[in-house]
Amino acid sequence: MSGVALVTGASRGIGRAIALQLAADGCAVVVNFASSSSKADEVVAEIQASGGSAVAIQADVSDPDAVANLFSTASDELGPVTVLVNNAGITDDGLVLRMSPEQWDRVVNTNLRSVFLCTKAALRSMLRAKSGRIINISSISGISGNPGQGNYAAAKAGVIGFTKSVAKEVGSRGITVNAIAPGFIQTDMTDALGEAVTSAVSEQVALGRLGLPEEVASAVGYLASEGASYITGQTIVIDGGLAL
């Protein structure tokens, strides 16, 4: 695989694993981050050490001006984006009765508005090239719902609806748009839940454990590959059998 992959939120966790996977598959990689500058630099260094190309670019992907700057800098540094992975995301949990409008907006803007902004920015060059891959990281919460995650589940369900709509809009131009819905994956996001919650969750998972970031990244690598050329508008659940 060649081309330029832009991975939002690639300084840590699942995004980091996706950046490393796409670099191993032959893409030059834009490692976007919000504030973890040194961690993003480490991802870039790891890719370069294996002979790949990568740059780290800071941008809050919920901000339209920052997204415009992210894509123009990416294009200047590595060329037009051919694979976009909308991965950046946050949680800010609370029961709906106790949730503030600001808490709602922060999570919806970071997890859903960002997907709209980055997709729009990436589509310009993809439409010209008549090819491209967009992969959106949703969540099992967006399919099943989760108490305390009204904001997050709404945003992640929105990502799935957006994925299907854009897949229909741009399919005739050789661009595929898919989503991945992970279950519980070992990252800073799930570390924050604590040992008691994660071991209780593991008991509900058919495979009996949390997933690894690399186990999500390998599916992204597949969706970005030539082998996935006839797959669009789909949501692949990667949850070790949690939702069965």
Q: Three-state SS for 139?
A: coil
Cα angle value 117/73/13 (rounded, 5°): 65
Helix (H) or strand (E) holding 221: helix 213-224
Cβ closest to ligand NAP, residue 92 vs residue 129: 92
Burial 40-59 (b: 16+ CB within 10 A, else e): bebbbebbeeeebbbbbbbb
Shortest distance (Å) from residue 220 CB to ligand NAP? 11
Cβ closest to ligand NAP, residue 77 vs residue 93: 93
Cβ closest to ligand NAP, residue 78 vs residue 220: 220
Distance CA 147, CA 140 (A): 13
Shortest distance (Å) from residue 173 CB to ligand NAP? 26
List residues near ligand NAP by CB under 6 A: 8-15, 32-36, 39, 60-62, 87-90, 110, 137, 139, 182, 184-185, 187-190
Name the residues annotated as catalytic: 152
- C-alpha dihedral over 30, 168, 62, 59, to 10 degrees? 10
Shortest distance (Å) from residue 94 CB to ligand NAP? 16
Cβ closest to ligand NAP, residue 195 vs residue 226: 195
Distance CA 145, CA 141 (A): 5
